Amino acid sequence: MFASLDEARLTQEVRKSSFAPVVDANTRVLVLGSLPGERSLQASEYYAHPRNAFWRLVGEAIGVDVSAEEYGARLDILREHGIGLWDSIGSARRRGSLDTALRDIAPAPIAKLVNSLPELRAVAFNGIRSAQVARPQLVDHALALIDLPSSSPAYARMSFAQKASEWARLAEFTPQSCNDSRRRALDQA
């Protein structure tokens, strides 16, 4: 028998792991989630749940309808705009997809990745848990640290428009040529 209810619960929670980072030498802003949810893990794709607003929010920030593209093209668009993607948690135990259910967290080696990105100017945290886990690894780095409202449908305190307003800060760190293209697209609308 189990020594405690916590021990019994841990045996029912499965250890889940993050995906590989989506970055290259031109990454200027790194967006960190916490840990992929069930739908993402099943699909082996970041932000695969159709109600997660991540792709729409990034698209609003860079002026490209990213959510209309297939997954591979979405990642290409991020890289073209100097946006990298990873998670602050390397692995953890969790039943379901909620960050509040995360247990036995092993942080991802964020500082090591950041040190390998010569053009990196900012790290953005997609939600509170991401910031709680990753920020301590970045205290000695001269980077802008950006707290963003979670793109998860579970975070319903803000409307999409309010979230998009905050996520627009990503555009400050994308290459100028991409920002010029975004301005032209907005002018034509």
Per-residue DSSP letters for 76-140? HHHHHTTEEEEESEEEEEESSS-GGG-EEEEE--HHHHHHT-TT--EEEEESHHHHHHHGGGGTT
| Identity at 96, one-letter amino acid code | G
Q: Which domains does the chain have, with CATH numbers?
A: 14-188 (3.40.470.10)
pLDDT of residue 114: 97
CA distances from 115 to 92, 155, 162 (A): 24, 31, 32
How far is it, in rounded angstroms, from Cα 183 to Cα 109? 36
Residues involved in catalysis = 52
pLDDT digits (tens, 9 = 90+) for 16-70: 778 899 999 999 999 999 888 778 878 899 999 889 999 999 999 999 999 999 9
pLDDT bracket for residue 103 (50, 70, 90): low
pLDDT of residue 14: 80
The answer to whether 117 and 141 are in contact (CB under 8 A) is no
> In this model, does residue 5 exceed pLDDT 90?
no
